[in-house]
Amino acid sequence: MPYIPHLNNCRLFDGLKEEEIAVYRPATRLVTYKAGDTIMTEGEQGDTLLVLIKGTVTISKKLTLLNEEEGDTKDKTFITLTGEIKPFFGEMALLMEDSLRTATVMATTDCEIVVMEKEAFQEVSTKNPTIGWKVMENIAKKLATNLERESKNVLKLTTAFSLILEE
């Protein structure tokens, strides 16, 4: 289990002891990416959750300029994440059928990422329901935080558009 100790500070496993985190070891694999590699692409189907344990990634989304024709989009970087905080992403793929990636993740530096497959995650969580419940609670907290942030962003945009239209 060479990289499970690195997951001790990951929010995905908040509230769990190292031996509890270790039950997910069979469901994970370590993958390395070189700077400039695309880790996941917006719009593609996903079935994995990823934990960044070393390196830096950028998360971007396509902005549609006028319509959805080819070439009428621009990538906008929304956030940069570092392995120092052991962030996880791709969690919706563990929860939804036919989940599409909502953003593109690119390695800014060489990265080490722990990948957890959906079926393996579900199997481990089913066999260890108390631990699985805690991990699902941590995923739900992240999704709720993301939803709250995006709701505030929509309100800001709506307010800005409203002010522009009033002029």
Query: Which pLDDT score, from 0 to 100, does residue 1 have?
Result: 45
Range of the domain at 16: 4-166
Considering only CA atoms, which of 83, 107, 104 is closest in space to residue 35?
107
Tokens (6 digits) for 138:
């941590």
Task: Report the range of poorest mean pLDDT among 48-52, 90-94, 113-117, 156-160.
Answer: 156-160
Contact 94, 23 (CB under 8 A): no
Please state the φ and ψ torsions of residue 95, each to the nearest 5 degrees.
Answer: -105, -25
Whether the model pTM is above 0.95:
no
How far from 132 is each of 8, 12, 20, 128, CA to CA, in Å? 16, 11, 10, 6
Return the amino acid letter for 78. F
Quick one: average pLDDT of 63-87? 72
b/e code 16-45 from CB counts within 10 Å (16+ = b): beeeebebbeebbeeeebeeeeebbebeee
Task: Output the average pLDDT for the chain.
Answer: 86
CATH of the domain at 73: 2.60.120.10
DSSP one-letter code for 164: H
| Structural domain count of the chain | 1
